[in-house]
A and B are shown apart, each in its own frame.
Chain A
Amino acid sequence: MASKELDTSFSELLVTEGSDSVGQSNKLEGQGSNDDAQITCFTEDLHDVTFHFQIIKLTKQIYVWIGCNTAKFGHLYAAAITRPNKTVAVTPVLGGTSDNTGSGIARRLVLKTGLNIIVACNIPKDSPTLEVTAERKLFEKLKSLGYIKPRPEGLPVRSAHN
């Protein structure tokens, strides 16, 4: 009867369980069905410095502007993961060739999020503390907006066929 055939094929299905459950992906594709550009602006007032952040989320890329006390545009960097090694490539796009403030932020953002990132940043050079603070605040916000999925620490991504 048909039910016996169904039982047989169902048990065959169980053999392949786990082939797609290799851990959480940190990709954002399919995160939301909203295709419009999503813009988030916020300001963080710290004791001696004010950071302004502007995040524009496009479908396949995120643009971030970080303003340190002023609303100057600053230097512009583009960063992305390169194939096949999955290393991060960063390039200055506007300004920033002799002053790399912002390129480290772009690079670490890509490392942690796996997204294509464009960063504009006017943090003065030789201010590592400011960079770190700004990066931390930005990160917290990206997480709270759901643009970064938490990746299970130490979980290698590998095929289930081992």
Chain B
Amino acid sequence: MYSSQPTRFPVTHKSVSLDIKGNKTDIVICKYDDKFLVIVTQIGCMGTILHARKEGSVSTEPTFSVSVIFGKRDEPWLLACGRQLIEHISCSGSSRPLVLSLGLKDHSPETLKELTVAVIENCLW
């Protein structure tokens, strides 16, 4: 489902709902002046929240920093998902950091890959 914003509201958002391995998954992507927010939920709440940003100067290869700021700190695939997305944001030309929330029923690599693809397909960057 695509939802468009009246031009006056300064934050653009997009929301989709899809099925990933039998679990209904809601994805909301918001674009603020200085950040992107991506909410992915299968459990009705935001779950684990990660912060991902690009570091490094213009002249060097960018490096990325991804960390869990709220929730599960022992699920490496969540960090991998954040890393994929921040790199995609960077490659699209934006330096904005990403706040990513993942409230998932299952943390398998297949689920994370599918939702990463879904977020990229519906991205606002």
Contact = CB atoms under 8 A, between A and B. Distances in A.
A137 to B, nearest CB: 15
B39 A60 contact: no
Contacts of A39: 3, 13, 15, 28
B32 A71 contact: yes
Contacts of B70: 78, 91, 93
Contact of B46 (A54, A94, A118): A118
B11 A54 contact: yes
**Which of A37, A70, A118 is the most central at the interface, judged by chain B CB atoms within 10 Å of its CB?**
A37
A17 to B, nearest CB: 34
Contacts of B49: 76, 78, 93-94
Nearest to B45: A61
Nearest to B13: A39
B44 interface: yes
A93 B69 contact: yes
A41 B11 contact: yes
Chain B, interface size category, equals 20 to 34
A37 B1 CA distance: 11
Interface in B1-47: 1, 3, 5, 8-11, 13, 15, 17, 24, 26, 28, 30, 32-35, 37, 39, 41, 43-46
B46 A52 contact: no
B13 to A, nearest CB: 6
Contacts of A42: 9
Interface of B: 1, 3, 5, 8-11, 13, 15, 17, 24, 26, 28, 30, 32-35, 37, 39, 41, 43-46, 49, 51, 69-70, 99, 103
Interface of A: 35-37, 39, 41-43, 52, 54, 56, 58-61, 63, 65, 67, 70-73, 76, 78, 91, 93-94, 116, 118, 120
Q: A-B pairs with the 7 shortest C-beta distances?
A: A59-B44, A71-B10, A61-B45, A73-B35, A60-B44, A71-B33, A73-B32
